[in-house]
Amino acid sequence: MKKINRRTFLKASAAAAVVSSVPLYFSFNDYKKAAEEIEIKQIPTFCHGCTSYCGIIAHVKNDRLWKVEGHPIHLKSRGHICARAHGMAAYEYSKDRITSPMKRVSGDKFEAISWEQAFKEIGEQLNGIVRKYSGNSVVWMEHGTHRKTYVDRFFDKIGSPNFITQYSTCFNAKTNAWLQMTGTSLNGDHQNAKYMIFEGRNFAGGIIPNGMNQITKAKENGAKIIVIDPRYSEIAKIADEWVPIRPGSDLAFRLAMANVLISEKIYNKVFVDKYVEDFAEFWKYNKDKTPEWAEEITGISADKIREIARDFAKNAPQAFVEPGWHGLHSHYINSTQIAQMGIILNALVGNFYERGGLMPSAGISLGHLELPTVFGPEKGERVDGAGVEGKYRSVEASRGIAQIVPKLVEEGKVKAVFVCNYNPLRTAPNPKEQVKLKNAELVVSINVDWNETSYHAAHYILPEHYYLERFEHPYTVSGHLAHDHPQVSLRQPVVSPMYDTKGTLDILKGIAEAMGYADLYPFTIEDDIKAAIKPLGIDMERLQKAGTIEFPATVKTGFPLKKGKPALSTKTGKIQFSAELLRIEGNIGVPTWIPPLVSPDPTKEDEFRLIHGKQPWHSHAFTSNNDYLMAMSERYDGTYMWINTSRAKKLGIENGDTVTVESSIAKNQVQVKVTELLHPECVWVPSTYGGFSPNNKTAYNVGVNFNDFIPVMVEPHSGTTMSQEVVVKIRKGVK
């Protein structure tokens, strides 16, 4: 922070006087005294740097944010935050924020318009679209589900079932497998574990501050950490062992682990007999998936696979394969089976509901407003086919298939698209396809800055309040980490809105009103918050003061039972090794070996699999326009693509060289880091860069993005993008 002195004060005063034409009556000393004496308020809220939503305390002086720090109680932060939290807090003052509603007038030209005009025009166009094509032609795309309850009322009114999240580009395979096989979702109990396997899971890259604290404490207490990953990732730095696996072969490794556990009879037979269904069917298909079989595919020796499987069993139940999120779960044609195997390996050692194994993340039920029922036209089938018989039946309808929306626009099935807190043009495969979103009759982007979707595809941009300026529906803190005590957390304004922006509820209200549905939202965000927390026995004042409130423990160890019988929310109450929904078109419900869709030709020196991952100071492309975080990228050569030393040598490539990367759909140039810390058969790029919106100036034209090189694909079971099913050719120089 620049220190103020008499000279800078006088300069600033003169400028202020010119701008405002208001005479300044007080002296520098008065000003300095007032500035020093003004109270620094500490206001709790939660971070928006990634979906961990860690609790933070904002320090605010004169309605200006000074700093943020970790909330001491919030499960994900416990007093600590990561670099992204600081960078994203500073983004409040970014030069690239959208300052008022915008309308595209021609090409890349926009004009600022009033909210009244925006609502009127959007409302009229939407009415016309719904009348002509039905509500089923309208899609809402959002990063997650946070605004879903508000959107649901709107979609009930117009008759659309099409709420689509970005999860098909992230982790659908994992949530789908857990839902189908267990009816729940458990997390690693890191702090009590003795043995943790992180396979394709970079916990120190997709960082959760308190999660890393728990892992390092467990390590101090003697826990062993095994990292299976083609890249020496950040979590590998604290591992006891890094096992570089051939990219695309994780399913084979997991099948062979299970084979050792079962054939050597070191699995937990008592647990399996009591709580597992379809064990025999799984074994029937996988008896021959021995470590020797897997050695060929994974490049990991049969002895090493046996050693890991035996150590895993020996330390169970205080041992787990970390369930993970993005890594592996949207990457391959066999991602659903990889996710199934994550559940099966943990079940085989009987670590479910055991301390140090897999435990729940305590949730709490919130209340809701009693609102008049919305009557609208009957909804048709989801336009993306998620959960629809004959299309993508086993894909979770609540999450949808984001990457195919532009194709649905082209086919004339989607006519209006709302994109909220999401940027599919940069975060979904093949931007040349994604940009076709703009061909819908109406595209509205509700975002805070000029991201690629706003700049290249939106007809209207409606600026949302930044996260430090708004209330949101209260949040139950759960997921990622095991914990016994439910928590509720509140996002609340810590500074006044800087620009002519609105919260999403008010944006929806404005559009609904313009469509003639003035009574659709007869409540304010404050009413909604009060109703949500009412059953918890707390009031708004208390929650605003505390930011995060923790409740007495609700989680118990031991497999859930009802009248002595297994009571998971599955058909049998047990863990289903066979997922019924997967048995379509000749497929079986249990996982067995499915090779990757594509692989580099080992005889070709220039062919590699392109893989990607998160850096600890970025949240994929979401943070790429941040000056502070991009300064870190520059300092650490963070935009470089990694290539293995021996392969680079064969191609005459040296550290820092520019190379050409070419896939079947794109070609681009990037600088490289030559390293021993990557499997020779792949190249790795961070998932952050390749910005192509000229108005997001910090990110513009920096680095490359893996999505540029991937065709739009849909993994049939979970709807994911298969984002590592891509082979690229690498050449030195710009060719």
- Interface residue list for ligand SF4 (CB under 6 A): 47, 49-50, 52-54, 76-77, 81-82, 84-85, 207-209
Q: Please give the Cα distance from 285 to 276 (Å, whole number).
A: 16
Q: How far is the CB of 48 from ligand SF4 (least distance, A)?
A: 7
The residue (of 213 and 660) whose beta carbon lies closer to ligand SF4 is 213
Q: How far is the CB of 481 from ligand SF4 (least distance, A)?
A: 11
The residue (of 49 and 135) whose beta carbon lies closer to ligand SF4 is 49
Which backbone phi and psi does 31 adopt, to 5 degrees? -60, -45
Q: How far is the CB of 207 from ligand SF4 (least distance, A)?
A: 5
Note whether 140 and 418 are within 8 A (CB): yes
Which backbone phi and psi does 456 adopt, to 5 degrees? -100, -20
Q: Kindly report the CA angle at 587 between 584 and 590, in degrees rounded to 5?
A: 110
Q: Please give the Cα distance from 53 to 411 (Å, whole number).
A: 37
| Other Cβ atoms closer than 10 A to 113 | 17
The residue (of 191 and 489) whose beta carbon lies closer to ligand SF4 is 489
User: Closest by alpha carbon to 719, among 309, 175, 259?
Assistant: 175
Q: How far is the CB of 595 from ligand SF4 (least distance, A)?
A: 35
User: Closest by alpha carbon to 648, among 617, 618, 683?
Assistant: 683
CA 276 to chain centre: 31
Q: How far is the CB of 545 from ligand SF4 (least distance, A)?
A: 21
Q: Please give the Cα distance from 606 to 647 (Å, whole number).
A: 8
Which backbone phi and psi does 193 adopt, to 5 degrees? -80, 155
CA 146 to chain centre: 13
Q: How far is the CB of 88 from ligand SF4 (least distance, A)?
A: 7
Q: How far is the CB of 472 from ligand SF4 (least distance, A)?
A: 14
Q: How far is the CB of 620 from ligand SF4 (least distance, A)?
A: 12
| Other Cβ atoms closer than 10 A to 269 | 13
Transcribe 33-101 into DSSP letters: HHHHHSPPEEEEEE--SSTT--EEEEEEETTEEEEEEE-SS-TTTTT---HHHHHHHHGGG-TTB--S-
Note whether 383 and 553 are within 8 A (CB): no
The residue (of 205 and 510) whose beta carbon lies closer to ligand SF4 is 205
Cβ neighbours for 709, distance < 8 A, ≥ 6 positions apart: 610, 661, 663, 665, 666, 668, 726, 728
Q: Please give the Cα distance from 632 to 642 (Å, whole number).
A: 17
The residue (of 82 and 416) whose beta carbon lies closer to ligand SF4 is 82
User: Closest by alpha carbon to 466, among 444, 499, 425?
Assistant: 499
Q: How far is the CB of 718 from ligand SF4 (least distance, A)?
A: 25
Q: Which two tokens stand for residue 66?
A: 């000074």
Q: How far is the CB of 234 from ligand SF4 (least distance, A)?
A: 13
Q: Please give the Cα distance from 145 to 532 (Å, whole number).
A: 16
**CA dist list (Å): 698 to 91, 142, 534, 589, 691:** 12, 24, 44, 47, 9
Q: How far is the CB of 211 from ligand SF4 (least distance, A)?
A: 9
Q: Which residues of 293-302 are buried (b: 16+ CB within 10 A; e: fewer)?
A: bbbebbbbeb
Q: Which residue's Cβ lies closest to ligand SF4?
A: 49
Q: How far is the CB of 653 from ligand SF4 (least distance, A)?
A: 34
Note whether 192 and 219 are within 8 A (CB): no
Note whether 366 and 202 are within 8 A (CB): no
Q: How far is the CB of 505 from ligand SF4 (least distance, A)?
A: 22
The residue (of 215 and 308) whose beta carbon lies closer to ligand SF4 is 215
